[in-house]
């Protein structure tokens, strides 16, 4: 949004003189943090936690009204004064409208699915409007606005707020801002919500991880479908299937893409062991292990994870994967 | 998305049609009054960018290059300078604002620019009140306000949604947008009015008020030539309104004295240097003043005020010239209210200075020989000055003179031609001819212009004097009696003085010039007068008088400000507390409405003989009624279902649909079908 900045910065020279951030807003944000952290959900917006301040446009509008009033007073022009007074009163009322547009809104829940480090954590905020009024132009984001929505009567909405991740472990959701400049954009009513939710960030999987260690032990005699060396049969093409695996002849016959399903004679199970990666630093080791967990899970192998002090017994499936990745994410040496 | 695409979205697709259209609507409404006072070239220059921007929105055109925009603006300013001969003056400044705003539309492709245009349109609206503050302007103000509110709402919508790459919906839709803006305005009115009454006004302006407040001078000019008053006769705008305290003179005595003319060049009458520069030496004694009255004078940009003969008590910031014309110290740029007392029995200059006497006898050489010959004859035959005056009036009365709105054009010897050839004229012809005749006979005479009569508004108890009441008469100087008013028009057409010039007319001045319409307009002038009194002329003095009158003691600015803040807080608190309450009551009434519909429905069923007891649940009732009215069971079921929806989940049930269904429902007894 490079164009965006030039829109809000009409006088760069003048702006440099002004404080870069709104001190009021910072003050309020800190106050919210200190007093009510974390917010208990569900959270209903009330007069205590909705703040209203003029926007830049609102300040400009106010300045124009001052000039108009000065002119009107000087020329004793009562019609012009009447216009100014009406405009000022309307502007004043919009603070109330903006406040009412937020007040009564409920934040039911905030959830976030685990992500790998480097991906954006996505916090889903469940908003509900159980009142008898419609809500307009609700904006939300961590600092910068990411989402904008209207809410009809008795409507629930999920807004998704993205936050970059830079390290594994728990990512505490920073306080986010729910704001409206409805109706005229002269005032913004906003609140900072700090729900105390968190998102689990797995280590980023290593790019060029060494192949899975095949230890060959394990009881499983069942063949695993997926990657492998032997053709097992045909199945419908799925996104992600390698082009080399497409059964072109069969596909042509049926007018639909089919891919060859390969089979690994997988009586083997693998053990993903911390100590197998001697000589690497901790984070790299965790990255490689993460990549291995993903690979093993894709191959539907049975695998176990052994970390210093902690281990996950052999198994497979989504639970196994989640358990292993969580262990890796929260690993502390 | 490439960078160029992004740029295209922020620029060309950058503003929604609603926002653009309402911004343009706001600008167009606010510049309408200004447009009507612009020259054609400037008007075209103003309208073109507006049209271009509308087309650009419809056809998704790109903005024209910066160079062209600068060029267009330069051309516009050049035409402006050429038209007004500079950049000074109020009208010029406002026209410049209009042109700049119009040019701004050429680059209005972002919500920020559109907001600027909308706000400055409101500013433009305020500047228009410098030129006109009539009661009709309130509608103009409301139109501008509503349009601006709607525009700003749409622009805000666009600004919030667009940077996220989303196309905002229309929100509530235009009618709802209009409704909520109107409601916002309606809510603002009480506080706005409270602020208006209580906001401390300045006793004197902070910076100077320019003297060219109005577009053109209206009212009587400071010269008189044939046709100058006749022009005013077409003008029905009010000149002033008068409220008498105590007795009011007879209609034929209502001579509102304006400019007095001494110098005649054969065609045009002008004021004299002495008249302009000498003040009245003697003034009537205020004790003898028979008439006291308050005048509300419309702005004319001239200094002349119009008082009855002879002003005894002068209002502040005025002076009296040596020929007893009341002048303000500064031109009247705004509505002004003055209180005057007049003594009609005062003798103006029982003795006269030689210089003035000479001035009152002077005539240009070689003009009007036939009149001169006639006057020489009269002079020889007459015993006294008074006899000549009487003879002249009788001459006008007896000979075949006409009082007409469309006098023939006169060439060089205007008085000769008028007296002997055309004999058709307006008051200025008679006054001019009479004065010339007197001077030729050696009687000092001068022409006085002003207004005569007025329309008495019974409802408001005041006299309304319009520009069309403009009049011209003569004064002759008689030894002992001083300057004496002689109205030759009265000799020709006495009704002019008894009633009004308009009532004399047999033909209409324009298509819609009926006497009932004139009367209706005169009656409605009451509203305009109240408006003038309460809105336009509301100033520091009036404000303090208002609160002193209420018995609240002297109100200084501090007290006023405190009162204003108190009232605003009270009204705001009331509105803020009442609004949720009203919303709740309305929601409850909505529920009740559903219940009432259901009761109507039950009553219909009962009438048809079905069992419909209030204690029954909707489904239960539907089942019971359905078993009795089998052929309508399906319809009853549907109504019951919709009712349940409306009652228990109001957001999903359509109440108007329920209403329609129940209205359509007419139970037919089953027997008809057998």
Answer yes or no: are the C-beta atoms of B266 and B186 closer than 8 Å: no
Nearest to A74 among B180, B192, B205 (CB): B205
Window A:63-92, CB contacts with B under 8 Å: 64, 67-68, 70-90, 92
Q: How confident is the model at residue B216 (pLDDT cuts 50, 70, 90)?
A: low
Q: Output A291 or A22, whichever has higher pLDDT.
A: A291
Q: Which residue of A has its CA nearest to B191?
A: A89
User: Taking residues B17-28, what's their average pLDDT?
Assistant: 92
Three-state DSSP class for residue B187: helix
Give the residue from A233, A249, A265 where a domain finishes. A265
Statement: residue B126 has pLDDT above 80: yes
Q: Nearest CA to CA, how far is B41 from chain A (Å)?
A: 29
Decide if pLDDT at B70 tops 90.
yes
Nearest-by-CA chain A residue for B130: A77
Which tokens go with B449?
């212009």
**Kind and range of the H or E run holding B258:** strand B255-261
Whole-model pTM above 0.90? no
pLDDT for residue A263 is more than 70: no
Same domain for B412 and B507? Answer: yes
Q: Which of B169, B191, B650 sits opposite A150 (nearest CB)?
A: B169
Neighbours of B663 (CB within 10 A): 12
Q: For residues B233 and B87, state if they share a domain.
A: no
Q: Chain A partners of B125 at a C-beta cutoff of 8 Å? A: 83
User: Per-residue pLDDT tens for A171-214?
Assistant: 888 888 899 998 899 999 988 888 888 899 999 998 887 887 77
pLDDT > 90: what percent of chain A?
Answer: 21
Last residue in a domain, options B468, B489, B515: B515
State the smallest CA–CA distance between residue A322 and chain B in angstroms.
34
Chain A closest CA to B354's CA: distance in Å?
A: 46
Is there a domain that residue B133 lies in? yes
* A160 contact B CB<8A: no
Domain identity same for B129 and B233: no
Q: Are A178 and A218 contained in the same domain?
A: no
Interface contact A4, partner B, CB < 8 A: yes
- Is the confidence at residue B357, as pLDDT, over 50? yes
Same domain? A121 vs A10: yes
Whether residue A211 sits in one domain with residue A196: no
Per-residue pLDDT for B575 more than 80? no
Are residues B8 and B146 both part of a single domain?
Answer: yes
Decide if pLDDT at B602 tops 50.
yes
Q: What is the pLDDT of residue B146?
A: 96
Last residue within a domain, chosen from B459, B487, B515: B515
Closest-approach residue (CA) in chain B for A7? B112
- Chain A residues within 8 A of B10 when measuring between CB atoms: 3-4, 7
Q: How far is B359 from chain A (nearest CA, A)?
A: 41
- Are B500 and B429 within one domain? yes
pLDDT above 50: residue A220: no
Check CB contact under 8 Å for B535 and A79: yes
pLDDT of residue B528: 81
CB contact under 8 A, A89 and B191: yes
How near does any CA of chain B get to the CA of A189, in Å?
14
Residues B588 and B492 in one domain: no
Place B582 in a pLDDT band, splitting at 50, 70 and 90.
confident
Whether the CB-CB separation of B453 and B493 falls below 8 Å is answered with: no
Cα–Cα dist B119/A61, whole Å: 7
Pairwise pLDDT comparison (A229 vs B540), residue with the higher score = B540
The H or E element that residue B528 is part of is helix B515-531
The verdict on residue B27 lying in a domain is yes
- Kindly tell me if the per-residue pLDDT of B107 is higher than 50: yes
What is the three-state SS of chain A? CHHHHHHHCCCHHHHHHCCCCCHHHHHHHHHHHHHHCCCCCCEECCCCCCEEEECHHHHHHHHHHHHHHHHHHHCCCHHHHHHHHHHHHHHHHHHHHHHHHHCCCEEEEEEECCEEECEEEEEEEEEECCCCCCEEEEEEECCCCCEEEEECCCCEEEEEEEEECCCCEEEECCCEEEEECCCCCCEEEEEEECCCCEEEEECCCCCCCCCCCCCCECCCCCCEEECCCEEEEEEECCCCCCHHHECHHHHHHHCCCEEEEEEECCCCEEEEEHHHHCCCCHHHHHHHHHHHHHHHHHCCCEEEEEECCEEEEEECCHHHHHHHHHHHHCCCC
Chain B residue with minimum CA distance to A129: B651
- Which residue did the predictor score with more confidence, A149 or A226? A149
Domain that holds residue B162: 3-171
Chain B: closest CA distance from residue A48 (Å): 16
Of B275, B276, B278, B285, which Cα lies nearest the Cα of B310? B285
Please report whether residue B642 resides in a domain: yes
Instruction: Determine the average pLDDT of the residues in B293-321.
Output: 88
The residue segments making up the domain with residue A249 are 223-265
Indicate the SS3 state at residue B409: coil
In a domain, B432, yes or no: yes
Q: Is the CB of residue A59 less than 8 Å away from at least one CB of chain B? A: no
Report, as an integer, the average pLDDT of A248-256: 79
Residue A183 sits in the same domain as residue A301: no
Mean pLDDT value across chain A: 80
As a whole number of Å, the end-to-end CA separation of chain B is: 72
Mutate to test the interface with A, among B126, B165, B211, B655 (most CBs of A within 10 A): B126
Looking at beta carbons, which residues of chain A come within 8 Å of B532?
none
In a shared domain, residues A169 and A285: no
| Cross-chain CB nearest to B196 (options A60, A81, A97) | A81
Q: Number of structural domains, chain B?
A: 3
Q: How confident is the model at residue A252 (pLDDT cuts 50, 70, 90)?
A: confident
Pairing relation of β-strands B318-320 and B291-297? unpaired
Higher-confidence position of B301 and B464: B464
- Residue with the larger pLDDT of the pair A254 and B357: B357
Q: A98-107, A135-144, B604-613: which has the minimum mean pLDDT?
A: B604-613
Tell me the per-residue pLDDT of B71-80, one tens digit each, with 9 for 90 and over: 999 999 999 9
Nearest-Cα distance to chain A for B91, in Å, is 15
Q: Residue B54 corresponds to which tokens in the numbers above?
A: 């509308």
Is the Cβ of A9 closer than 8 Å to some Cβ of chain B? no
Instruction: Check whether residue B163 and residue B234 sit in a common domain.
Output: no
Q: Are residues A137 and A153 in the same domain?
A: yes
Report the pLDDT averaged over residues B17-27: 92
Nearest CA in chain A to B568: A89
Do residue B157 and residue A136 have CB atoms under 8 angstroms apart? yes
B59 min Cα distance to partner chain A (Å): 23
- Average pLDDT over every residue of B49-78: 91
Could B536 and A79 be called an inter-chain contact, meaning their C-beta atoms sit closer than 8 Å?
yes
Residue where a domain terminates, one of B484, B515, B546: B515
Residues of B in contact with A83 (CB under 8 A): 122, 125-126, 129, 141, 145
Between A102 and A27, the more confident residue is A102
Regarding whether A254 and A217 lie in a shared domain, the answer is no
ipTM score assigned to the predicted complex: 0.76
In the prediction, which pLDDT does A219 show? 45
- Of residues B600 and B48, more confidence is placed in B48
What count of other Cβ atoms lies within 10 Å of the Cβ of residue A135? 23
Closest CA–CA distance from residue A40 to any residue of chain B (Å): 26
Could you read off the pLDDT of A271-319 as tens digits, one per residue?
Answer: 888 888 887 888 888 898 899 888 888 888 888 888 888 888 888 888 8
Q: Is residue B415 domain-shared with residue B295, that is, in the same domain?
A: yes
**Both B62 and B160 in a single domain?**
yes
Nearest CA in chain A to B141: A83
Q: Are residues A167 and A309 in the same domain?
A: no
Chain B touched by A23 (CB under 8 Å): no
What residues of A are in contact with residue B155 (Cβ under 8 Å)? 185
More confident residue, B342 or B219: B342
Check B129 against A80: CB less than 8 A apart.
Answer: yes
Q: Per-residue pLDDT tens for A79-124?
A: 999 999 999 999 988 998 999 899 889 888 899 999 999 899 999 9
Whether a cis peptide bond, with omega within 30° of 0, leads into B455 is: no
Measured between beta carbons, the chain A residues lying within 8 angstroms of B15 are none
> A145 to chain B: which residues are within 8 Å by CB?
160, 163-164
Q: Are residues B31 and B141 in the same domain?
A: yes
C-beta atoms of A133 and B583 within 8 A = yes
Query: What pLDDT was estimated at residue B138?
Result: 92
Q: Is residue B673 very low, low, confident or very high in pLDDT (cuts 50, 70, 90)?
A: very low
CB B427 within 8 A of CB B401: no
Query: Any CB–CB contact under 8 A between A11 and chain B?
Result: no
Same domain, B7 and B155: yes
Is the CB of B156 less than 8 angstroms away from the CB of A71? Answer: no
Surface of A (116-135) touching B: CB under 8 A: 132-134
Instruction: Please state which of the ranges A240-254, B269-283, B427-441 shows the lowest mean pLDDT.
Output: A240-254
Contact A74 B160 (CB under 8 A): no
Contacts of B403 (CB under 8 A, 6+ apart): B425, B426, B427, B430, B489, B492, B493, B496, B504
pLDDT of residue A215 exceeding 70: no
How many interchain CB pairs under 8 A, A with B? Answer: 166
Same domain, yes or no, for A193 and A254? no
Tell me the chain B residues in contact with residue A74 when contact means C-beta distances shorter than 8 Å. Answer: 202, 205-207, 209
Q: Is the Cβ pair A79, B188 closer than 8 Å?
A: no
Q: How high does pLDDT run on average in chain B?
A: 84
Q: Tell me which of A258 and A94 has the higher pLDDT.
A: A94
- Asked if the C-beta of A103 comes within 8 angstroms of chain B's C-beta atoms, the answer is no
Whether residue B242 lies inside any domain: the answer is yes
What confidence score (pLDDT) does residue A7 get? 40
Cβ proximity of A162 and A113 under 8 Å: no
CA distance linking residue A292 with residue A323, whole number of Å: 14
> Do both A209 and A293 map to the same domain?
yes
Contact A86 B145 (CB under 8 A): yes
Does some domain include residue B184?
no
- Min distance A195 CA to chain B CA atoms (Å): 24
Q: How many domains does chain A have?
A: 3
Do B129 and A4 count as a contact with CB atoms less than 8 A apart? no
Q: Residues 171 to 230 of A: which have CB under 8 A from any B CB?
A: 181-186
Task: Examine the domain organization and report whether A169 and A245 are in the same domain.
Answer: no
Do residues A159 and A91 share a domain? yes
Partner B contacted by A46 (CB < 8 A): no
């Amino acid at each position: 949004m490079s164009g965006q900045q030039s829109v809000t910065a009409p006088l760069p020279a003048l702006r440099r003189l002004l404080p870069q951030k709104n001190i009021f807003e910072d003050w309020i944000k800190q106050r919210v943090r200190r007093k009510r952290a974390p917010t208990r959900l569900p959270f209903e917006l009330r007069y205590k936690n909705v703040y209203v301040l003029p926007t830049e446009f609102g300040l400009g509008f106010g300045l124009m009204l001052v000039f108009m009033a000065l002119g009107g007073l000087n020329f004793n022009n009562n019609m012009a004064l009447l216009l100014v007074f009406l405009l000022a009163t309307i502007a004043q009322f919009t603070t109330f409208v903006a406040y009412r547009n937020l007040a009564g809104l409920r934040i039911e829940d905030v959830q976030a699915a685990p992500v790998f480090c480097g991906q954006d954590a996505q916090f889903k905020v469940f908003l509900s409007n159980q009142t008898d009024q419609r809500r307009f132009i609700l904006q939300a984001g961590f600092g910068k606005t990411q989402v904008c929505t209207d809410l009809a009567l008795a409507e629930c909405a999920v807004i998704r707020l993205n936050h970059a991740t830079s390290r594994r472990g728990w990512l505490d959701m920073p306080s986010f801002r729910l704001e409206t400049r409805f109706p005229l954009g002269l005032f913004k009513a906003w609140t900072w919500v700090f729900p105390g939710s968190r998102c689990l960030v797995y280590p980023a999987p290593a790019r060029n991880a060494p192949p899975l260690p095949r230890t060959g032990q394990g009881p499983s005699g069942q063949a695993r479908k997926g990657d492998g060396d032997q053709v097992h049969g045909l199945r419908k093409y799925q996104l992600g299937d390698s082009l080399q695996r497409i059964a072109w002849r069969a596909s042509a016959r049926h007018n639909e893409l089919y891919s060859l399903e390969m089979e690994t004679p997988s009586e083997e199970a693998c053990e993903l062991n911390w100590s197998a990666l001697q000589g690497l630093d901790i984070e790299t080791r965790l990255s490689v292990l993460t990549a291995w967990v993903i690979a093993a899970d894709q191959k539907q192998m049975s695998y176990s994870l052994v970390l210093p002090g902690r281990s996950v017994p052999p198994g497979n499936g989504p639970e196994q994967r989640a358990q292993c990745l969580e262990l890796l994410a929260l690993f502390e040496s | 998305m490439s960078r160029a695409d992004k740029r295209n979205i922020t620029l060309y697709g950058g503003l929604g049609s609603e926002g653009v259209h309402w911004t343009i609507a706001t600008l167009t409404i606010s510049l309408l009054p200004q447009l009507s006072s612009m020259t054609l070239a400037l008007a075209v220059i103003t309208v073109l960018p507006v049209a271009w921007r509308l087309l650009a929105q419809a056809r998704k055109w790109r903005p024209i290059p910066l160079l062209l925009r600068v060029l267009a603006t330069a051309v516009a300013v050049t035409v402006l300078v050429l038209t007004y001969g500079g950049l000074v003056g109020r009208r010029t400044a406002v026209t410049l604002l209009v042109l700049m705003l119009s040019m701004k539309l050429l680059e209005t492709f972002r919500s920020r620019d559109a907001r600027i245009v909308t706000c400055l349109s409101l500013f433009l609206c305020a500047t228009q009140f410098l030129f006109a503050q009539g009661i009709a302007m309130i509608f103009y103000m409301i139109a501008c306000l509503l349009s601006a509110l709607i525009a700003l709402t749409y622009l805000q919508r666009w600004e919030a949604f667009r940077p996220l790459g989303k196309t905002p919906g229309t929100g509530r839709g235009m009618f709802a947008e209009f409704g909520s803006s109107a409601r916002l305005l309606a809510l603002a009115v009480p506080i706005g009015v409270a602020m208006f009454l209580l906001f401390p006004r300045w006793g004197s302006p902070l910076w100077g008020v320019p003297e060219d407040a109005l577009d053109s001078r209206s009212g009587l000019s400071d010269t008189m030539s044939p046709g100058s008053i006749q022009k005013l006769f077409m003008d029905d705008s009010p000149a002033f309104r008068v409220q008498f305290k105590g007795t009011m003179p007879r209609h034929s005595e209502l001579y509102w004295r304006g400019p007095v003319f001494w110098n005649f060049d054969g065609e045009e009458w002008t004021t004299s240097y002495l008249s302009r520069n000498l003040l009245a030496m003697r003034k009537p004694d205020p004790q003898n003043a028979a008439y006291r009255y308050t005048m509300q004078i419309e702005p004319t940009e001239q200094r002349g005020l119009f008082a009855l003969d002879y002003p005894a008590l002068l209002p502040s910031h005025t002076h009296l010239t040596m020929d007893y014309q009341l002048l303000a110290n500064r031109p009247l740029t705004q509505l002004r209210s003055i209180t005057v007392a007049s003594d009609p029995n005062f003798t103006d200059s029982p003795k006269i200075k030689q210089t003035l006497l000479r001035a009152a006898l002077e005539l240009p050489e070689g003009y009007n020989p036939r009149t001169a010959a006639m006057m020489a004859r009269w002079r020889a035959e007459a015993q006294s000055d008074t006899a000549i005056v009487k003879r002249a009036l009788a001459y006008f009365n007896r000979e075949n003179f006409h009082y007409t709105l469309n006098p023939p054009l006169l060439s060089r010897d205007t008085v000769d031609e008028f007296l002997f050839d055309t004999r058709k004229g307006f008051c200025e012809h008679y006054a001019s001819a009479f004065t010339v005749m007197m001077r030729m006979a050696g009687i000092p005479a001068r022409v006085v212009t002003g207004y005569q009569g007025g329309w008495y508004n019974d409802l408001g108890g005041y006299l309304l004097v319009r520009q069309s009441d403009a009049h011209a008469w003569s004064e002759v100087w008689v030894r002992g009696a001083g300057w004496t008013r002689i109205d030759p028009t009265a000799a020709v057409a006495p009704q002019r003085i008894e009633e009004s010039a308009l009532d004399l007319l047999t033909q209409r001045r324009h298509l819609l010039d009926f006497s009932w319409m004139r009367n209706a307009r005169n009656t409605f002038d009451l509203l305009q007068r109240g408006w003038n009194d309460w809105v336009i002329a509301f100033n520091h003095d009036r404000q303090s008088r208002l609160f002193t009158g209420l018995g609240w003691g002297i109100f200084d600015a501090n007290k006023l400000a405190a009162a204003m803040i108190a009232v605003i807080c009270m009204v705001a608190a009331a509105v803020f507390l009442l609004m949720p309450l009203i919303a709740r009551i309305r929601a409850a009434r909505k529920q009740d409405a559903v219940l009432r519909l259901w009761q109507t429905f039950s009553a219909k069923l009962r009438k048809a003989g079905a069992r419909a007891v209030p204690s029954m649940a909707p489904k239960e009732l539907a089942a019971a009624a359905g078993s009795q009215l089998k052929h309508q069971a399906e319809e009853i079921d549907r109504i019951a279902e919709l009712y349940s929806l409306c009652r228990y989940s109001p957001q999903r049930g359509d109440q108007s649909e329920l209403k329609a269904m129940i209205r359509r429902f007419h139970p037919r007894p089953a027997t008809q079908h057998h």
